[in-house]
Amino acid sequence: MLVHIPEVLTPDEVRYCRDVMRRADWADGRITAGHQSAQVKRNLQLPEHTPEARELSGLVSAALNRNPLFMSAVLPKKVFPPLFNRYDAEGEMNFGSHVDNAIRTIAATGERVRTDVSSTLFFASPDEYDGGELVVEDTYGTHSVKLPAGDMIVYPGTSLHHVTPVTRGSRVASFFWTESMIGDVTKRSMMFDLDMSIIRLNADHPEHPSVVSLTSLYHNLLRQWAAT
């Protein structure tokens, strides 16, 4: 299940983050790659221990907490602190096909996060760079993603995916993983569809009695399926 989440960050927040990134020192992106990913990863990354990375991570985390579509689509239990990368045209930086590591460890706490859902939040507008599409392969085919600055895509962490070479400009983004309360992607997708249906029904027919019964069904399923 791929879900496009628009306007996670406001234009002012995007501009502020971009200003912070311009002042930061970037490092080789392989610092957080697993063995397989390191063989195909060619990009730059903000080291997560730097003041700039910690500030931006906190800003993105706050934006996620106030976003109802992210909450509905992902049902987060634990979120890995957001990281930040950059793909430059010089060297045609890219990231070859890979699957994200199943478990990530938060460096500051040692806490482990199961990577049920992967997320990419864009900071550069599509007209600022050529190439750099996120290409995700799932059971429904191949999906190419290149979103406006401030928008985000979420997709199953089990998906094979890659970033195409950047041939002009720079692609700047945040990426992170979420351990969902519902680890099974099919059940999580069903819960999202049910939640969206409840919202639409309530908008079209306010106070319809079915809203109460469907909302009860939603929470009882969540209670049954949520990991303890």
Q: In the prediction, which pLDDT does 30 show?
A: 76
Report the Cα 60 to chain-centroid distance in Å: 11
Residues in Cβ contact with 102 at an 8 Å cutoff, skipping those fewer than 6 apart: 114, 115, 157
Query: Do residue 190 and residue 176 come from a single domain?
Result: no
Query: Do residue 209 and residue 160 come from a single domain?
Result: no
- Structural domains in the chain (count): 2
Query: Do residue 146 and residue 99 come from a single domain?
Result: yes
Query: Do residue 29 and residue 128 come from a single domain?
Result: yes
Q: In the prediction, which pLDDT does 153 show?
A: 98
Query: Do residue 215 and residue 119 come from a single domain?
Result: no
Q: Are 5 and 68 within 8 A, CB to CB? A: no
The pLDDT tens digits of the residues spanning 137-195 come to 988 889 999 999 999 999 999 999 999 999 999 999 999 999 999 999 999 999 999 99
Query: Do residue 67 and residue 95 come from a single domain?
Result: yes
State the CB neighbour count (10 A cutoff) for residue 36: 13
Query: Do residue 83 and residue 141 come from a single domain?
Result: yes
Average pLDDT over residues 1-16: 97
pLDDT band at 20 (very low <50, low <70, confident <90, very high): very high
The pLDDT tens digits of the residues spanning 55-87 come to 999 999 999 999 999 999 999 999 999 999 999
Distance CA 14, CA 150 (A): 6
Query: Do residue 28 and residue 133 come from a single domain?
Result: yes
Q: In the prediction, which pLDDT does 8 show?
A: 98
Distance CA 114, CA 137 (A): 20
Domain of residue 189: give its range.
185-225
The percentage of residues in the chain with a pLDDT greater than 90, rounded to a whole number, is 89
Distance CA 114, CA 135 (A): 22
Q: In the prediction, which pLDDT does 207 show?
A: 87
Please state, rounded to an integer, the average pLDDT across all residues of the chain: 94
Average pLDDT over residues 22-30: 90
The greatest distance separating any two alpha carbons of the chain, rounded to the nearest whole angstrom, comes to 59
In 3-state terms, what secondary structure has residue 147?
A: coil
Please determine, for residue 35, whether its predicted confidence score (pLDDT) is greater than 60: no
Q: Tokens in use for 171?
A: 């692609």
Q: In the prediction, which pLDDT does 36 show?
A: 60
pTM: 0.93
Q: In the prediction, which pLDDT does 38 show?
A: 62
Beta bridge partners of 26: none
pLDDT band at 22 (very low <50, low <70, confident <90, very high): very high
58: left (phi over 0), alpha (psi -120 to 50) or beta: alpha
Please determine, for residue 95, whether its predicted confidence score (pLDDT) is greater than 60: yes
Please determine, for residue 37, whether its predicted confidence score (pLDDT) is greater than 70: no
Query: Do residue 13 and residue 126 come from a single domain?
Result: yes
Query: Do residue 56 and residue 166 come from a single domain?
Result: yes
Q: In the prediction, which pLDDT does 53 show?
A: 97
| Domain-terminating residue out of 180, 195, 215 | 180
Query: Do residue 45 and residue 153 come from a single domain?
Result: yes
Average pLDDT over residues 33-60: 86
Q: What is the CATH number of the domain that holds 191?
A: 4.10.860
**Angstrom distances, CA of residue 134 to CA of 60, 79, 90, 141, 152:** 20, 21, 19, 14, 11
Query: Do residue 141 and residue 193 come from a single domain?
Result: no
